Amino acid sequence: MTDPIIFLQLAKIASARGKLNRTLKRVYLMNYVRAVKRQRAAAVTATQEKHLVKFAI
């Protein structure tokens, strides 16, 4: 799973090089949002599994 911070760092690098246009900025932002959603979903799934294990025993 890709860390969301990577996409922000890539945007900073592109900006420093002068290559960060509107489209690329949108792509980095959407990838960042997807990565954050994946992390949150993984955390929720892990929490649910812990609760299921407690009640199953």
Q: What is the pLDDT of residue 7?
A: 97
Rg (CA), the chain: 17
Please compute the mean of the pLDDT values over residues 2-27 and round it to a whole number.
Answer: 97
What's the number of domains the chain is made of?
A: 1
Please compute the mean of the pLDDT values over residues 16-26 and round it to a whole number.
Answer: 97
Q: What is the largest CA-CA distance in the chain?
A: 58
Q: What is the value of pTM for the model shown?
A: 0.79
pLDDT at 42 over 80: yes
Please compute the mean of the pLDDT values over residues 35-46 and round it to a whole number.
Answer: 93
Residue 46: domain span: 4-56
Q: Is 32 within 8 Å of 4 (Cβ atoms)?
A: yes
Structure tokens at 54: 């407690």
Q: What is the pLDDT of residue 50?
A: 73
State the Cα torsion 16-21-27-33 to the nearest 10°: 60
As a whole number, the mean pLDDT across the chain is: 90
